[in-house]
A and B are shown apart, each in its own frame.
Chain A
């Protein structure tokens, strides 16, 4: 079956612009996660959705970052007033249920802020 998909695969934007990154989880997976991976580092947790609600957004770095999952499936990560330091690979993952299960990752969106 289809895995987690993310679009776009690459995004180049200018400092100060607004970007949206999309994640399509595996069908039937109720839990969805966003991570950010900077060069040479491991992924860092941003936010976790259980269904439509953001159950834990403690990893979002500041209020320029926001994510939604209005129908409990597709999720969009939104970044306002982008900064050069936001440049990273943004990874989305989903799992069948929350907690102790395996998280299945998408290919990521590589964001470059000029």
Chain B
């Protein structure tokens, strides 16, 4: 079953604009990860944020985590056409089953050149 819910389901922006995607989840987590998927195939890991972290940066990516609200956001700055893809958040639960990532349904991002 899906734990996370990404919002919005689809997002269309112009090249150069910023894109923000949100993720909400239900249970306590050890960490939260964001992945990108092109053309419905393999997923590429983007960034991992641990439950005791509030914000993390990697290049043009900025991730925030609010464990009290059970939510996370992914910001892509200065978007490029190559950023067009589906973005998924995945949670690793607290406890023994932390390897079992639970994914949301994803946000489909379209960056128009």
Contacts and interface: CB of A to CB of B under 8 A. Distances in A.
A91 interface: yes
A37 B100 CA distance: 15
Contacts of A106: 42
B110 to A, nearest CB: 16
B61 interface: no
Nearest to B33: A102
A108 interface: yes
B30 interface: yes
A89 B33 contact: no
Interface stretch (B11-19, B43-51, B52-60, B69-77): B43-51
Interface stretch (A12-20, A41-49, A65-73, A76-84): A41-49
Given A102-B33, A104-B45, A105-B43, A42 B100 contact: no
A86 to B, nearest CB: 17
Contacts of B92: 100
A59 to B, nearest CB: 8
Interface string A97-114: 011101111111010000
A102 to B, nearest CB: 5
A42 B33 CA distance: 13
B41 A89 contact: yes
A91 B28 CA distance: 25
A90 B65 CA distance: 29
B88 A42 contact: yes
B101 interface: yes
Contacts of B2: 41-42, 44
B32 to A, nearest CB: 12
B99 A43 contact: no
A42 B87 CA distance: 10
B102 interface: yes
A31 interface: yes
